[in-house]
């Protein structure tokens, strides 16, 4: 059974390993924190936990990743001084890529922010459930799934079927 505080090992390319911790059981799904430490040898858990966050916490299919053996529980550490990370979302025009109304999810309610995402929210993650494979891809490449990062930073994205 997966519990708050469990640390999982995530296999990457070239025999490297990344690590994440289950920090919140949320109605949207399990929230994990991915640590900066990436290496070939499995280090002490304290080294992992003290390495800092690679990116802000995300919601992912943690239970499925562990159940299928994609990720492996390697230990547990207490989650301390945790504040809900908060997430942003928007309605957007599929044809133009323009964001229309932004919202902030504080863990209990959705708060309307307006047509432009305020700067103080631009470091938040987009409200979505990440596939464990997308989490792994982001750890390796730093890439954010299309089109959410562009929406957050520029209030718009270029639709893939865009024709000028």
The model's pLDDT over 101-150, given as tens digits with 9 standing for 90+, comes to 999 999 999 999 999 999 999 999 999 999 999 999 999 999 987 788 99
Q: Is the pLDDT of residue 164 over 70?
A: no
Q: Is the pLDDT of residue 162 over 60?
A: no
pLDDT at 147: 83
Where would I find the beta strands (DSSP E) of the chain? 6-11, 17-26, 29-39, 53-60, 71-76, 87-92, 99-105, 110-114, 125-126, 129-130
Give the count of beta carbons closer than 10 Å to the beta carbon of residue 74.
Answer: 14
Q: Answer yes or no: are the C-beta atoms of 91 and 101 closer than 8 Å.
A: yes
pTM value > 0.85: yes
Q: Answer yes or no: are the C-beta atoms of 123 and 87 closer than 8 Å.
A: no
State percent of the chain over pLDDT 70.
98
58 to 11, 52, 88, 100, 115: CA distances (angstroms): 18, 15, 12, 23, 24
- DSSP H stretches of helix in the chain: 45-49, 62-67, 132-141, 148-154
Q: Is the pLDDT of residue 1 over 90?
A: no
The model's pLDDT over 33-61, given as tens digits with 9 standing for 90+, comes to 999 999 999 899 999 999 999 999 999 99
């Amino acid at each position: 059974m997966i519990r708050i505080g469990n640390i999982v090992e995530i296999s990457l390319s070239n025999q490297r390993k990344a690590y994440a911790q289950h920090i919140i059981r949320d109605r949207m799904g399990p929230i994990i924190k991915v640590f900066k430490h990436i290496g070939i040898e499995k280090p002490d858990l304290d080294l992992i936990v003290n390495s800092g966050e690679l990116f802000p916490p995300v919601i992912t299919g943690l239970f499925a990743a562990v159940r299928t053996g994609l990720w492996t529980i390697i230990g547990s550490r207490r989650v301390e001084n945790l504040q809900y990370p908060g997430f942003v979302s928007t309605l957007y025009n599929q044809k133009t890529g323009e964001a229309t109304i932004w919202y902030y999810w504080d863990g209990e309610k959705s708060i309307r922010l307006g047509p432009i995402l305020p700067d103080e929210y631009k470091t938040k993650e987009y409200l979505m459930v990440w596939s464990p494979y997308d989490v792994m891809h982001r750890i390796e490449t730093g890439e954010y799934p299309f089109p959410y990062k562009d929406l957050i930073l520029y209030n718009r994205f270029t639709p893939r079927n865009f024709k000028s």
